[in-house]
Amino acid sequence: MTNKKNVLLCVTGGIAVFKAAALTSQLSQNGYTVKVMMTQSAMKFVTPLTFQTLSRNPVYHDTFDEKDPSGVAHIDLADWADLVVIAPATANVIGKTANGLADDMVSTTLLATTAPVLIAPAMNVHMYEHPAVKANMERLANYGYRFIEPGEGLLACGYVGKGRLAEPDEILAAIKQFFNEQSEQPLLGKQVIITAGPTREQVDPVRFFTNRSSGKMGYALAEAAQGFGAQVTLISGPTSLPEPFGINVIQVKSAEEMYNAVMKRYEYADLIIKSAAVADYRPKEVLAQKVKKKDSGLAIEMERTKDILQELGKCKTNQVLVGFAAETDQVETYALEKLERKNLDIIVANNVSEVGSGFEGDTNKVTIFGNDGTRIQSDLVSKKEIAMLVLNEAIRYIRKIGK
């Protein structure tokens, strides 16, 4: 490596600490600058002197042992790191980090750092499968932390199952992959707006019209764009999804609110991806009191909402504009017509009546049409993979217009 990267290795208590020593050696040999921080329980298995010798740097373990009076060690280390790696990561440190607890040097530093964090769990198989541990890991994943899956096999406790710390070369490979991704950020410095989820159009104080959009596609796009280095604004209708860590999320409800939020920010954007399922109609009159049940039928007069995508197409200058077309028949015909009529660069079309590619699920199958005649057909894959396909095509358009 021509440019050394700073890796803060947080070592927590467990028999797998010996693997962290091997990892420290491999990191040093591969040109990384490594500093090691240990919990008190980790020091019961391997001494700090081992890590000091392998890293050629002091080892940190006591929040109150301030060797340099000009700074605060755990804050300085939190700022110094390009990447924080927790290996092995016990159920205890995962739980403390997920819940914002800080009672030692490792947990305090983890709260203080703004660097990305890789977590390599190691614990008994039943601990790993405990609902509380799973919930904590899910929360950290939603915050943007990455996990290195533990291996399966004979554990130190005698059980056979999942929970064994990944091998040092596997963790090293994950670290290398992370830094490779960081060096490949084609949207670095770009402003990206993504809309996601459904809208709700109010009928009365207790009723509204909506649709089945979960927001999963838009949220996957937002996280992928952030990974490519973009400054992302996610304008989201009501969903049950947690807000992605580090992304500017603007919550809206109605089509009118989404229109105003998009148009307010549109001129500053380099790329706009409108994946939200916005209502085409809304009640012409919103009633102040709940509509009472009657024996007869109910008629509600509807009016058109503003077509956000069409308005964006009208005022587009040098932005790249991407739309979605969720259809149930004649998918290509309707998508290509929409691509032209709304002055889009790209349209992503899918047949929501096909199994696995409709609303609410975790998978999708799409065809991406470009206004230059390109056509990309995907298999049935995860929405995260679809997000990467869409963004790679959008990046091609950004480069084509020289942005």
Domain shared by 83 and 122, yes or no? yes
CA 217, 220, 221: angle at the middle one, nearest 5? 85
Residue with tokens 């000009």, as numbered in its chain: 70
Domain shared by 167 and 219, yes or no? no
Task: Give me the residues paired with residue 160 across strands.
Answer: 154
294 domain residue, yes or no = no
Residue 75 and residue 62 in contact, taking contact as beta carbons nearer than 8 Å: no
Q: Which residues have C-beta within 8 Å of that of residue 363, sequence separation ≥ 6?
A: 356, 357, 380, 381, 382, 383
Residue 392: CA count within 13 A, CB half-sphere: 9
Whether the ω angle into residue 88 lies within 30 degrees of 0, i.e. cis, is yes
Residue 306: CA count within 13 A, CB half-sphere: 16
Domain shared by 143 and 242, yes or no? no
Q: Which of 305, 321, 381 is nearest to 350 (CA)?
A: 381
Domains identified in the chain, total number: 2
289 domain residue, yes or no = no
Token pair for 205: 């104080």
Phi, psi of 313 (to 5 degrees): -65, -35
Cα 134 to its chain centre, rounded Å, is 18
Q: What is the residue-level pLDDT of the chain in tens, covering all 403 positions?
A: 445 699 999 999 988 999 999 999 999 999 999 999 999 999 999 999 999 999 999 999 998 887 776 677 789 999 999 999 999 999 999 999 999 999 999 999 999 998 889 999 999 888 999 999 999 998 888 787 889 988 766 555 565 566 789 999 999 998 988 887 766 788 988 999 999 999 999 999 999 999 989 999 999 999 999 888 898 999 999 999 988 877 899 999 999 999 999 999 999 899 999 999 999 999 999 999 999 888 888 899 999 999 999 999 999 998 999 999 988 899 999 999 999 999 999 999 999 888 888 788 889 999 999 999 999 999 999 999 999 999 999 999 998 886 5
The parent domain of residue 179 ranges over 6-183
Domain shared by 251 and 344, yes or no? yes
Domain shared by 175 and 322, yes or no? no
Residue 382 and residue 363 in contact, taking contact as beta carbons nearer than 8 Å: yes
Residues annotated as catalytic are 157
Phi, psi of 172 (to 5 degrees): -60, -40
Token pair for 395: 């990046």
Domain shared by 155 and 266, yes or no? no
Rounded to whole angstroms, the Cα distance separating 228 from 273 reads: 15
Q: Which of 353, 324, 356, 319 is nearest to 338 (CA)?
A: 324
- CATH, residue 211: 3.40.50.10300
Domain shared by 197 and 164, yes or no? no
